[in-house]
């Protein structure tokens, strides 16, 4: 787990996560027929907010459940009474649980996809038919 705590890994994940969330907001707002100027504005806002909050945690110098600097000893002051420290701890804990939930969701989706490929192979169907049938059953869009 020390590998995932490296600063470059966290920066890369923050940039990629920001892109994914901005794209998700873009798709949702486009689906809701929001004017295109607001769609781009909302996507840019979500990207900058997500990236900014993650960078603030990374570069604040506060150890949190999201990112810990390791063995570097920083002189302890009365930071526990500091509102920024308290907020950084809360946001760090939120992002920590967010990343765990996201990992579990992606693992479940991957397992379902692999099972559907196995079912297609055993039945002699073209690959992707089972997942397409499941998708059509869940989202009955004409």
Domain that holds residue 117: 77-142
Q: Quick check: is 54 in a domain?
A: yes
Residues 48 and 95 in one domain: no
Q: Quick check: is 65 in a domain?
A: no
From the number of C-beta atoms within 10 Å of its C-beta (0-12, 13-18, 19+), residue 63 rates as middle
The answer, yes or no, to whether residue 1 has pLDDT greater than 60, is no
Q: Quick check: is 138 in a domain?
A: yes
Q: Quick check: is 24 in a domain?
A: yes
Taking residues 75-97, report their average pLDDT: 76
For the stretch 59-79, pLDDT in tens is 887 777 777 766 555 555 555
């Amino acid at each position: 787990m020390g590998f995932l705590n490296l600063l470059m890994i966290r920066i890369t994940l923050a940039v990629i996560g920001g892109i994914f969330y901005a794209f998700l907001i873009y798709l949702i707002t486009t689906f809701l027929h929001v004017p295109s100027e607001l769609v781009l504005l909302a996507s840019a806002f979500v990207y900058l907010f997500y990236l900014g909050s993650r960078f603030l945690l990374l570069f604040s110098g506060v150890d949190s459940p999201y990112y810990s600097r390791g063995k570097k000893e920083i002189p302890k002051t009365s930071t526990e009474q500091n509102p920024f420290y308290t907020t950084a701890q809360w946001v760090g804990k939120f992002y920590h649980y967010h990343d765990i939930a996201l990992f579990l969701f992606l693992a479940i989706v991957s397992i379902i996809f692999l099972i559907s490929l196995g079912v297609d192979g055993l039945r002699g169907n073209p690959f992707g038919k089972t997942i397409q049938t499941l998708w059509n059953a869940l989202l009955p869009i004409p």
